[in-house]
Amino acid sequence: TVKIDVFPIPDQEIDHEQIIHFGQSFSVNLNPKYEYSWTPRDFLICNNNCQSINASPNEDIIYYLIYNDENGCSHKDSIIAKVIFPIFIPNTFTPNGDGKNDVFYAYSKVLEQYELLIYDRWGNLAFKTEDLSKGWDGRINGNPQPQDVYVYKLNYILKYTRNWREKVGTVTLIR
């Protein structure tokens, strides 16, 4: 016969999903009776045996924490941090020369590199740029294009990261 003691899991108030905007942080305060080990340590400030942390991730990340309770049992938990990056992409533009919304482009303070591609309704490439300051003026080969819905594809790298991301959507050209 084997005797097995089953102990309840220590009460921890953990919000397992943290959603923050780029440049912001979140804090977690855990039961002060235990010492904690966190991995990875990226963007993490650990206080008081890591029972209190402050995290400022600049990309989505999963933090794992391990601790031992008073019964010698080891526990593992996790927190998913999701970072919202503000990239502003209009859904309409009016290239009519009035100086307002004449050019379609994506902009953000956190774009490091990008490639913007615009396609017409038949899938033909209408515009391409890798210059963050350039956008589409509604012309193809110097010819104004008709009012229509166009597809954009934005490939980009955010500052402080090395991963290319992609965003696809539509933009309406209004004449």
Residue 39 pLDDT: 94
Q: What are phi and psi of 82, to 5 degrees?
A: -110, 125
Residue 83 pLDDT: 87
In angstroms, the CA 19 to CA 8 distance is 29
In angstroms, the CA 103 to CA 133 distance is 11
* Half-sphere exposure at residue 45, Cβ-oriented, CA atoms within 13 angstroms: 6
In angstroms, the CA 39 to CA 35 distance is 14
Query: What is residue 164's DSSP assignment?
Result: E
pTM reported for the whole predicted model: 0.63
Asked if 35 contacts 49 with a C-beta cutoff of 8 angstroms, the reply is: yes
Strands 74-84 and 61-68: antiparallel
Asked if 92 contacts 103 with a C-beta cutoff of 8 angstroms, the reply is: no
Residue type, 29: N
Asked if 24 contacts 84 with a C-beta cutoff of 8 angstroms, the reply is: no
Name the strand (E) or helix (H) holding 137: none
Strands 17-21 and 26-29: unpaired
Residue 71 pLDDT: 87
Residue 117 pLDDT: 98
Residue 35 pLDDT: 87
Residue 61 pLDDT: 95
| Averaged pLDDT, groups of 10, the chain, 175 residues long | 84 88 92 91 87 92 93 92 89 95 90 93 95 94 95 89 89 96
Residue 12 pLDDT: 81
Residue 139 pLDDT: 95
Tokens describing residue 168: 């696809």
